[in-house]
Amino acid sequence: MNEITVQANRRRTFAIISHPDAGKTTLTEKLLLYGGAIHLAGSVKARKAQKHAVSDWMEIEKQRGISVTSSVLQFDYQDFRVNILDTPGHQDFSEDTYRTLMAADSAVMLIDVAKGVEEQTKKLFRVCKERGIPIFTFVNKLDRFGRNPFELMEEIEKVLGIRAYPMNWPVGVDGNYRGIYNRQLAQVELFDKDGSHGQRALASTLGSVNDPAFREVLGETVYQALCDDIALLDMAGDQFELAKVAKGELTPMFFGSAMTNFGVQPFLEEFLRLAPPPAPRQSSEGPVGSASGFFSAFVFKIQANMNPAHRDRITFIRICSGKFERGMNVYHVQSGKQVRLSQPQQFLAQERNIVEDAYPGDIIGLFDPGLFGIGDTLCQPGQPVRFQDFPVFSPEHFARVQAKDTMKRKQFVKGMVQLAQEGAVQVFRQPEVVESFVVGAVGTLQFEVLQYRLKQEYGVDILMHPLPFGVARWLQGDGLNPKALKSMDNGLVLEDTKGRPLVLITTEWQLNWVKERNPGVEFLVTPPSLA
Ligand code: G4P
């Protein structure tokens, strides 16, 4: 194996998906604690008046206590190099979340033991399922009373349609848990109660379930309950098959408490062992992965003004093949230009580090002069591959926006263009209308984010009028001519930022009516490819 394959194989790049408050921030912090990236958990959080993720940057997140951007945290654990992608945890599903998951090789689904599978978890799960990435489940908050683990297994299977295989099982009765049982090793691990609320790694005692000493410590009731549960699992449960996990058909399930650290380390170790290394990605030249002998990467996120003091724009790329070296020249496929990557960045909370080299599975941030777009391909000159485009979501909410103060028009247009490139919202123009844009979003929170960011980052107050449309369709076909566009009068005909025509319509029902009147026009849910 060459150096690149060895390095790629030790990478684990994943995202944690969960409903707000399930404990994603806490678990992320604990993984950093066990990875040695921070030394005292709670320190990051405690410094902040409001609750938000370690990796949050933006002011809006602090104010609202939500995470609206995604970023990556990296640390080493044993032989592994771990990359955690932070997915936005807010209620509105945004494309940003989807894009982040495009850069992940697996996902950890975090579930609150008392609440089970919640709304946002379902949505994010569906995206992971569509991508076919392995999903691992961590049932959190075992330190307090919750639902019966069998019931949760059943709920996962029923609601999400994936079989669950408990890798470990809580030891205790009626929600009073003291440890976990490792099914593979038939080993019990009992965790100390250290009263520090998990600031430091937690001590534990490990032993065989058959050891009389453990039986005595557990007490007869707990011991019997554990034996009964295990017997039931072994008898009625699925077999563990890694191939099924890889295909997203079976989710390995773990139990623990991110707050007290109970079960965090066993989860981390087992997860890293079972989670896949960077997977090849489809391109114009077939799959490209760590074994391909050249550098390639794709853009999955762009964020302007991450640091208000610098006003810079950062493009996040995920490396697919080859070795990245600082200062290297790469070919940007979409523009046909060569770019020198001189100041690649990696991020931990507020800190930035210059990256000297990176391998498949790694994420790096590049300063971007406005060249890159979401889904773009970067590759070694002379090796032109082009990765598949990212899917674009059909927006369902629309509003017309304009600058309150016409003198700020220049700043307004700049902000709209940049935020459109970032994919914060989709921006459309109505032909012949210059003073306003129409924006489309998958969730209405994106509008609030737009309004806030235009004010904070560009100094522009906007007027925003919701539009009564619920359906967008891109138009193409032989029958597309000015007369046809005119006939769509009760819709709103617009152009996207790449000049492709689309129409906004109130309802699906009305869409059918418009379709019938325009037999030569195709109505596409997402924009036609420009390639
Ligand atoms: P999120 O990022 O998924 O939104 O959740 P976050 O980690 O911020 O956790 C949400 C709340 O759940 C926090 O309580 C956190 O302390 C608590 N929590 C996380 N993991 C556990 C756990 O294993 N057990 C218990 N009992 N609680 C847990 P909070 O009161 O909202 O905030 P804080 O004051 O504790 O920071």
Q: Where in the chain are the domains?
A: 14-67+105-274, 281-379, 397-524
Instruction: Give buried/exposed letters for 126-136 (b at 16+ CB in 10 A, else e).
Output: ebbbeeebbbb
Task: Give the residue whose CA is nearest to atom 10 of ligand 1.
Answer: 21
Is 488 buried (19+), middle (13-18) or exposed (0-12) by CB count in 10 A?
Answer: buried
Residue 526's pLDDT is 83
Residue 269 has pLDDT above 80, yes or no: yes
Residue 48's pLDDT is 40
Q: Using 50, 70 and 90 to split pLDDT, how confident is the model at 52? A: very low
Residue 365's pLDDT is 83
Report the share of the chain in percent with pLDDT over 90: 48
- Answer CATH for 14-67+105-274 from 3.40.50.300, 1.10.1040.10, 3.40.50.2000, 1.10.3720.10: 3.40.50.300
Q: What is the pLDDT of residues 393-450, one digit of tens each?
A: 788 899 999 999 999 999 999 999 888 888 878 999 998 888 899 999 887 888 888 8
Q: Do residues 471 and 507 make contact, with C-beta atoms less than 8 angstroms apart?
A: yes
Which comes out higher in pLDDT, residue 352 or 258? 258
Pairing of strands 80-85, 11-18: parallel
- What kind of architecture, by CATH, is found in domain 397-524? 2-Layer Sandwich (3.30)
Can you spell out the DSSP letters for 193-261? --SSTTSSPPPEEEEETT-HHHHHHH-HHHHHHHHHHHHHHHHHSPPP-HHHHHTTSEEEEEE--TTT-
Region of residue 198 (left: phi > 0; alpha: psi -120 to 50; beta: else): left
Is 98 buried (19+), middle (13-18) or exposed (0-12) by CB count in 10 A?
Answer: buried
Binding pocket residue ranges, ligand 1, CB within 6 Å: 18, 20-26, 45, 51, 89, 140-141, 143-144, 257-259
**CA 240 to each of CA 110, 165, 303, 356: distance values in angstroms, whole numbers, following the listed order:** 20, 7, 41, 40
Task: Give the residue whose CA is nearest to atom 31 of ligand 1.
Answer: 21
pTM (2 decimals)? 0.84
**Alpha carbon of 525 to ligand 1 centroid (Å):** 39
**Alpha carbon of 97 to ligand 1 centroid (Å):** 21
Q: What is the pLDDT of residues 301-326, one digit of tens each?
A: 887 766 656 667 788 899 999 999 88
**Which of 18-22, 152-156, 335-339 has the highest mean predicted lDDT (pLDDT)?**
152-156
Which comes out higher in pLDDT, residue 434 or 464? 464
Residue 49's pLDDT is 35
Mean pLDDT of 361-374: 85
Which comes out higher in pLDDT, residue 369 or 39? 369
Instruction: Name the residue of 19, 24, 26 to mutate for ligand 1: max ligand atoms within 8 A of Cβ.
Output: 26
Tokens of 97: 């979340």
Q: What is the pLDDT of residues 467-494, one digit of tens each?
A: 999 999 999 998 888 777 777 777 899 9
- DSSP-assigned beta bridge partners for residue 397: 441
Residue 44's pLDDT is 44
Which comes out higher in pLDDT, residue 355 or 453? 453
Residue 90's pLDDT is 55
Residue 264 dihedral angles phi and psi, to the nearest 5°: -70, -45
**Alpha carbon of 67 to ligand 1 centroid (Å):** 15
Which DSSP letter does residue 358 get? E
- What kind of architecture, by CATH, is found in domain 281-379? Beta Barrel (2.40)
Residue 29's pLDDT is 84
Q: Do residues 395 and 492 make contact, with C-beta atoms less than 8 angstroms apart?
A: no
User: Among 445, 369, 373, which residue's Cα sits nearest to residue 99?
Assistant: 373
H or E stretch covering 267:
helix 264-274
Q: Using 50, 70 and 90 to split pLDDT, how confident is the model at 43? A: very low
Q: Do residues 179 and 209 make contact, with C-beta atoms less than 8 angstroms apart?
A: no
Q: Do residues 412 and 453 make contact, with C-beta atoms less than 8 angstroms apart?
A: no
Which positions ≥6 away from 153 have C-beta within 8 Å?
Answer: 164, 166, 253
Residue 308's pLDDT is 59
Q: 152-161, 269-278, 316-325, 519-528: which range is least confident on average?
A: 519-528
Average pLDDT value for the chain? 85
Is 500 buried (19+), middle (13-18) or exposed (0-12) by CB count in 10 A?
Answer: middle
**Alpha carbon of 499 to ligand 1 centroid (Å):** 46
Tokens of 295: 């550098």
Residue 53 has pLDDT above 70, yes or no: no
Query: How far apart, in whole angstroms, are the C-alpha atoms of residue 72 and residue 219?
Result: 44
Task: Give the residue whose CA is nearest to atom 19 of ligand 1.
Answer: 23
User: Among 173, 171, 174, 227, which residue's Cα sits nearest to residue 204?
Assistant: 171
Q: Using 50, 70 and 90 to split pLDDT, how confident is the model at 50? A: very low
Residue 192 has pLDDT above 80, yes or no: no
Q: Do residues 475 and 502 make contact, with C-beta atoms less than 8 angstroms apart?
A: yes
**CA 233 to each of CA 145, 155, 187, 230, 410: distance values in angstroms, whole numbers, following the listed order:** 21, 16, 15, 5, 64
Q: Do residues 440 and 395 make contact, with C-beta atoms less than 8 angstroms apart?
A: yes
Report the share of the chain in percent with pLDDT over 70: 87
**Alpha carbon of 140 to ligand 1 centroid (Å):** 10
